[in-house]
């Protein structure tokens, strides 16, 4: 059964994106974080929804086997995700997040992900209005706000998406919902405080962590730079 992230630790949650780790040394990259990560963010790309190709269920299964205690936060950047959610659920994903732009039947798909025993997440590209996901917010445990156009690590943060996070905080409070708000793309020391101040609970970071000389220290610095207790919701 999937395990949820906990905000009870009194600090913003940080999700290292394995996309920025050396694929030939992924085990060393994860071990090098010494348990500091709140979850592992796994970017799945199909070469259609996004131009890049990355991993499949085999990597998720291998991570599940090697790291039984880690929460696996799987971000599906694939067309027609309904064709692959079962494989990722069986592989051991905890959070399974799909793009609103990638499916014709988002409501059905999110319910199906829950039926598969995973925590459903929904995400949207920077150019997609946040109103597109409002009808399904009661079905999700996680909303991922993309702050770059998905497909590659190391891109520049798009600050115009911060207002989506603020809107989501308002809707969550107004409708008495309980999803986490995660942001992904171009995050690092220069912008993480603004991102968390805008209401983000979970910060995804690839290059800012694995591109650093000491990823464990970089992760801790990122958490420290975030500047506010993520449990305080706007």
Q: Which residues belong to the active site? A: 43, 184
Q: Which stretch binds ligand DX5 (CB under 6 A): 12-20, 32-40, 105-113, 172-180?
A: 12-20
Is residue 208 within 8 A of residue 222, CB to CB? The reply is: yes
* Residue of minimal Cβ distance to ligand DX5: 206
**DSSP annotation string for 111-152:** HHHHHTTSEEEEEE-TTS-GGGGGGGGGG-SEEEEESS-TT-
19 vs 168, which CB is nearer to ligand DX5? 19
Q: Single out the residue of 2, 44, 75, 191 in contact with Zn ion (rule: CB under 5 A).
A: 75
Which of 35, 154, 159, 227 contacts ligand DX5 by CB under 6 A? 154
Residue 101 or 111: the one with the smaller Cβ distance to ligand DX5 is 101
Classified as helix, coil or strand, 47 is coil
Rounded to whole angstroms, how far apart are CA atoms 148 and 128?
A: 12
* Contact mark string toward Zn ion, 30..59, x via CB under 5 A: -------------x----------------
In which residue are the tokens 């800012």 written?
208
Q: Which of 38, 6, 13 is nearest to 178 (CA)?
A: 6
Give Cα separations from 118 to 124, 144, 209 (angstroms): 19, 16, 27
Beta strands at 202-205 and 180-184: parallel, antiparallel or unpaired: parallel
Residue 22 in contact with residue 211, Cβ under 8 Å?
no
Q: Which does 171 bind (CB under 5 to 8 A by kind): Zn ion, ligand DX5, none?
A: none
User: Which residues lie across from 43 on neighbouring strands?
Assistant: 75
Judged by CB under 6 A, the stretch of 86-94, 103-111, 133-141, 144-152 that binds ligand DX5 is 144-152
Question: What part of residues 159-218 is at the interface with ligand DX5 (CB under 6 A)?
Answer: 184-187, 204-208
Question: What are phi and psi for residue 207, nearest 5 degrees?
Answer: -65, -30
**Residue 93 found at the interface with ligand DX5 (CB under 6 A):** no
16, interface contact from Zn ion, ligand DX5, none, CB < 5-8 Å by kind? none
| Residues forming the site for ligand DX5 (CB under 6 A) | 17, 19-20, 41, 43, 75, 148, 150-155, 184-187, 204-208
Binding site for Zn ion (CB under 5 A): 43, 75, 184
């Amino acid at each position: 059964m999937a395990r949820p992230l906990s905000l009870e630790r009194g600090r913003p949650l940080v999700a290292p994106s394995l996309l920025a780790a050396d694929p030939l040394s992924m085990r060393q990259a994860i071990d090098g974080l010494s348990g500091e990560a709140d979850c592992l963010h796994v970017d799945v790309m199909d070469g259609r929804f996004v131009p890049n190709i990355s991993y499949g269920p085999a990597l998720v299964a291998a991570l599940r086997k090697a790291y039984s205690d880690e929460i696996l936060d799987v971000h599906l950047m694939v067309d027609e995700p309904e064709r692959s959610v079962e494989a990722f659920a069986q592989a051991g994903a905890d959070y399974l997040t799909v793009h609103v732009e990638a499916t014709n039947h988002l409501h059905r798909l999110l319910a199906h992900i829950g039926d598969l025993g995973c925590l459903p997440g929904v995400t949207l590209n920077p150019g997609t209005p946040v109103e597109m996901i409002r009808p399904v917010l009661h079905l999700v445990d996680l909303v991922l706000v993309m702050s770059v156009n998905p497909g590659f690590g190391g891109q520049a943060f798009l600050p115009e998406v911060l207002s989506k996070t603020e809107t989501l905080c308002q809707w969550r409070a107004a409708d008495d919902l309980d999803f986490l708000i995660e942001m992904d793309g171009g995050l690092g020391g220069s912008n993480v405080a603004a991102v968390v101040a805008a209401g983000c609970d979970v910060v995804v970071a690839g290059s800012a962590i694995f591109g650093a000389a000491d990823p464990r220290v970089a992760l801790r610095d990122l958490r420290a730079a975030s500047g506010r207790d993520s449990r305080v919701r706007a």
